[in-house]
Amino acid sequence: MARFIFITGGVVSSLGKGLASAALGALLQARGFTVRLRKLDPYLNVDPGTMSPFEHGEVFVTDDGAETDLDLGHYERFTGVSARATDSISSGRIYSNVLEKERRGDYLGKTIQVIPHVTNEIKDFIRIGEDEVDFMLCEIGGTVGDIEGLPFFEAIRQFSQDKPRGQCIFMHLTLLPYIRASGELKTKPTQHSVKELRSIGIAPDVLVCRSEGPIPEKEREKLALFCNVRPDAVIAAQDLKSIYEAPLAYHREGLDQAVLDAFQISPAPKPDLAKWEDVSDRIFNPEGEVRVAIVGKYTQLEDAYKSIAEALTHGGMANRVRVRAEWIDAEIFEREDPSPWLEGFHAILVPGGFGERGTEGKIKAAEFARTRQIPYLGICLGMQMAVIEAARNVAHLADAGSEEFDHEAGRKRYTPVVYHLKEWVQGNATVTRKADDAKGGTMRLGSYTAHLAAGSKVAGIYGATVIEERHRHRYEVDIKYRDKLEACGLVFSGMSPDGRLPEIVEWKDHPWFIGVQFHPELKSKPFAPHPLFADFVRAAVEVSRLV
Ligand code: GLN
């Protein structure tokens, strides 16, 4: 039976609750425990799949095809435990489940209420798979006091009462603002936040306080006294240079020890932190630097491509170099020659995206990489644009394009080299879609197998000919054009098992030009960099040595 750690936030949002949860998960693993991490989001969307990356950052896709919060990406990167659809829930999903049951007649005769119907639904969700791990870490999105969050706070309060004493603890993350004029760290917002939490029946066991510097003894004692926690359960979370420092930094501050103490686990097993020491060493002692241009659309918000930025960092760690990723808005290349922008980069990455805006610029970036022999990694839309570039500029299909853009514009302009996929095979089942399907959750989502051509560049990189990668797209490269494109040198080196869906393309006469229909970035870890990213950065290092 798992022990439960509920992680809540107060004072302000964006304090790094997800990162703290992920780092704690990693530290518990380092002490030999098994963990699973979950995110409970109070917003009313059923999932973040239909939210703009500007609103919510990247959508993280699980193996089993759920579109989830980007914090699940942190959880996976730090613990290596693959997230599942059941590790992410929102108010929207909870209410929609409750209303579905109401319509079905499951509650016949009853008035449906937040307590107990909504809170029970939340508790059932928290319990899923509780026998599988030693610790279940559940992070509540938002901050205490948010209206939408209330049913979640009430549910975790009840949950801890339903369980035997000592099986659940609460960890609360707050901010200690630093007032420069008086040179003081202020504890009052934290006191208020804890007061708010206690007013809804939750008493924190561990307090994690974000602050610019260390917490002086006097403030620590004050926090302990006023917030009713032990002084050694007041943990300082100082700003870090790299997120991958977090496990070691939290360990130094005593977070894992405080958590084990709160559960009265004694003696606590000794941690083995060798993995994280190696990660830190690679981050902080690089032997060189490469510059990678990321030509995309959602470039103003770094969180929009979170996993790509992290996977590039991991690729750098694999090669002991620092990767300087620079974001360039693809639309610029629709007005200007890309050469002055892209010259000087050691590699170019075109990430995924939706809609036509910026795509002509991405096509220009692919052309630049192909003709200048610069390493190119095209991910999802980045692969589709590379294929369209090949079709237009090499295979003489001047009006090649994607059906996605014609659908968006409501008229037909292109030869659909990339078309709307309406039927495909998933495991033993056939999935079908219609043009006017609802948008939420209807893409080709989750893990699919691809077969790699023996002797291809990608087969060499993966060291395998059968791989599993995660997908999130509606459109697909049409194999009708395979022969024509292969005759030009664009090899279809990865295919779905039935041979109908192109998964990977690569240029034969190019040092490193690969397009993938899936999202390799989602599976990269600091301690296990994804082979495609590791090799992409290796190719960039080679370019950097030539100049
Ligand atoms: N918009 C494209 C599609 O739906 C690509 C999606 C993506 O890049 N994730 O196929």
The tens digit of pLDDT for each residue in 101-134 reads 999 999 888 899 999 999 999 999 999 999 999 9
Whether pLDDT at 377 is above 80: yes
pLDDT (tens digit, 9 = 90+) per residue, 461-509? 999 999 999 999 999 999 999 999 999 999 999 999 999 999 999 999 9
- Reply yes or no on whether 519 is catalytic: yes
Catalytic residue among 380, 476, 506, 510: 380
User: What is the number of the ligand 1 atom nearest to the C-alpha of 353?
Assistant: 8
Going by alpha carbons, the residue nearest to atom 7 of ligand 1 is 352
Mutate to test the pocket of ligand 1, among 349, 380, 422 (most ligand atoms within 8 A of CB): 380
Q: Assign 299 a pLDDT band (cuts: 50, 70, 90).
A: low
* pLDDT value for 434: 85
Q: Assign 192 a pLDDT band (cuts: 50, 70, 90).
A: very high
* pLDDT value for 182: 86
* pLDDT value for 250: 97
pTM for the full model? 0.94
* pLDDT value for 368: 97
Average pLDDT of span 386-415: 94
Residue 434 tokens, joined: 């219609």
CATH (one of 3.40.50.800, 3.30.200.20, 3.40.50.300, 3.90.1150.10) for 3-279:
3.40.50.300
User: What is the number of the ligand 1 atom nearest to the C-alpha of 476?
Assistant: 10
* pLDDT value for 390: 97
Domain range summary for the chain, segments of one domain joined by + = 3-279, 286-546
CA of 73 to the centre of ligand 1 (A): 19
- Reply yes or no on whether 380 is catalytic: yes
Lining residues, ligand 1, CB within 6 Å: 352-354, 380-381, 404, 472-475
Q: Residue 338: CA atoms inside 13 Å, Cβ hemisphere, count?
A: 25
Contact 175, 211 (CB under 8 A): yes
Residues 92-109 as b or e (16 or more Cβ within 10 Å = b): bbbbebbeeeeeeeeeee
Catalytic residue among 117, 314, 510, 519: 519
Q: Given CATH 3.40.50.880, say whether it is the number of domain 286-546.
A: yes
Q: Let me know if the fold of 3-279 is the same as that of 286-546.
A: yes
pLDDT (tens digit, 9 = 90+) per residue, 508-544? 999 999 999 999 999 999 999 999 999 999 999 999 9
| CA-angle at 97, arms to 91 and 100, nearest 5° | 135
With a CB cutoff of 8 Å and minimum separation 6, the contacts of 309 are: 302, 325
| CA-angle at 337, arms to 333 and 339, nearest 5° | 105
CA of 52 to the centre of ligand 1 (A): 13
* pLDDT value for 409: 86
Average pLDDT of span 239-258: 95
Average pLDDT for the chain: 94
Q: Assign 300 a pLDDT band (cuts: 50, 70, 90).
A: low
Whether pLDDT at 400 is above 70: yes
Cα 14 from Cα 404, distance rounded (Å): 34
Would you give the distance in Å from CA 332 to the centre of its chain?
27
pLDDT (tens digit, 9 = 90+) per residue, 156-182? 999 999 999 999 999 999 999 998 898
Cα 402 from Cα 343, distance rounded (Å): 28
pLDDT (tens digit, 9 = 90+) per residue, 18-34? 999 999 999 999 999 99
Going by alpha carbons, the residue nearest to atom 5 of ligand 1 is 381
Average pLDDT of span 247-270: 95
